[in-house]
């Protein structure tokens, strides 16, 4: 019997939890935002750590003397101290493919809702029961417009395919993909819509900053379903308040959960040209079934002493040399 710790229990994985318990393992479930001190204590004797959002720091990794693997049940690995895990020879894997179509669909839905003014329309219908076709309700169209993708990985590529079906012109900026734009600001200046689909790392933190927002057209809108910190959120809030861009649709935030009061971005709730989603564009029945199935496979590899399968192309994971096997 192994001790398995899973953080972020609010994201339910009933199939994974039941399978681990049925196999005789001790499963410890910890809430989102668990203090580092408690995580250190609970993982000290753990052989497997499952995490989604909770930071796995160097201190946690160094204190977990029996740890054999870390599995991120999701995509982004920015919350894990990968160098600390590599130094201890603890393999790390994520689940990169379970929701690429799902998140792309979510981003497209947010974009369409923003362009079609669905948020203020719904508010008006709830308040007055009906509205008439006056100027304030004039919506936009997607066909013939230019969308710029910041990141052209799995999700960005799926979004690009969907945009093509709507007869949109698609541009992309991705230093790791040939044939894409090499000047981010120049690309932004051409776009009616901008959608963010890159991973968060040291290179992409605040990639969309004050200068990039100023490069955007006044009628342009920004969609972010990737990671909040890719965008300088303070600069974004200022751009929206000063009406330097036309709107934003956000599913991710640097500080989660978002709150109606006491949060740096609380002012966004009152804006009709901003659509807010609670980091749930990945959350569909189909995607969660895929996530649970692959997460359980990774768990079994760790607990049975097999090499941990890494499907991600992220260089931080591909740099591992112990206890892993790579699958393209």
Give the three-class secondary structure for 237.
Answer: helix
Displacement of CA 178 from its chain's centroid (Å): 24
Contacts 24+ apart (CB under 8 A), 277-281: 277/106, 277/110, 277/225, 277/249, 277/250, 277/251, 278/251, 279/251, 279/252, 279/253, 280/106, 280/251, 281/99, 281/102, 281/103, 281/105, 281/106, 281/107, 281/110, 281/225, 281/251
In 3D space, the residue among 249, 229, 252, 253 whose CA is nearest the CA of residue 240 turns out to be 249
- Which one of 97, 169, 256, 290 is the catalytic residue? 256
Look at residue 67 and give its three-state secondary structure.
coil
State how far the Cα of 327 lies from the Cα of 121, in Å rounded to an integer. Answer: 47
Size (the chain), residues: 328
Q: Is 205:228 a contact under the CB 8 Å cutoff?
A: no
Catalytic residue among 227, 233, 292, 298: 227
Q: Is position 256 annotated as part of the catalytic site?
A: yes
- Give per-residue burial for 147-171: e unless 16+ CB within 10 Å, then b: bbbbbbbbbbbbbbebbeebebebb
> What is the distance between the terminal CA atoms of the chain, rounded to a whole angstrom?
32
Indicate the burial class of 37 (C-beta count within 10 angstroms; 0-12, 13-18, 19 or more).
Answer: exposed
Catalytic residue among 279, 292, 298, 301: 279
* Residue 227 designated active-site: yes
What is the rounded distance in angstroms from the CA atom of residue 230 to the CA atom of residue 51? 21
Tokens 């932004």 sit at which residue?
188
| Torsion sign, CA atoms 112, 115, 121, 122 | positive
- What whole-number distance in Å separates Cα of residue 94 and Cα of residue 80? 11
Point out the residues that are catalytic.
Answer: 227, 256, 279
């Amino acid at each position: 019997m192994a001790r398995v710790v899973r953080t972020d229990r609010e994201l339910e994985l009933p199939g994974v939890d039941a399978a681990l318990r049925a196999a005789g393992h001790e499963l410890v479930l910890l809430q989102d935002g668990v203090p580092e001190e408690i995580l250190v204590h609970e993982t000290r004797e753990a052989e497997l750590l499952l995490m989604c959002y909770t930071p796995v720091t160097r201190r946690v990794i160094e204190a977990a003397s029996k740890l054999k693997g870390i599995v991120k049940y999701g995509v982004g690995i920015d919350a894990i101290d990968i160098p600390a895990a590599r130094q201890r020879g603890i393999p790390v894997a994520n689940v990169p493919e379970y929701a690429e179509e799902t998140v792309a669909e979510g981003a497209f839905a947010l974009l369409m809702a923003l362009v079609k003014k669905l948020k203020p329309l719904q508010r008006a219908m709830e308040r007055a029961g009906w509205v008439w076709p006056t100027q304030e309700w004039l919506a936009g169209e997607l066909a013939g417009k230019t969308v710029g993708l910041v990141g052209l990985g799995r999700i960005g590529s799926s979004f690009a395919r969907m945009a093509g079906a709507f007869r949109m012109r698609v541009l992309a900026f991705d230093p790791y993909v040939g044939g894409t734009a090499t000047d981010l600001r120049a690309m932004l200046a051409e776009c009616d819509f901008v959608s963010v689909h890159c991973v968060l790392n040291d290179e992409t933190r605040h990639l969309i900053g004050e200068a990039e927002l100023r490069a955007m057209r006044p009628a342009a809108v920004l969609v972010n379903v990737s990671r909040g910190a890719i965008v300088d959120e303070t600069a974004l809030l200022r751009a929206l308040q000063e009406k330097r861009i036309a709107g934003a649709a956000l599913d991710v935030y640097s500080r989660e959960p978002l709150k109606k009061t006491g949060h740096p971005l609380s002012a966004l709730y009152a804006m009709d040209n901003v659509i807010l989603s609670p980091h749930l564009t990945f959350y569909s029945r189909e995607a969660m079934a895929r996530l649970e199935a692959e997460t359980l496979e990774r768990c079994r590899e760790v607990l049975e002493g097999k090499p941990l399968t890494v499907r991600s192309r992220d260089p931080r994971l591909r740099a591992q040399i112990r206890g892993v096997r790579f699958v393209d």
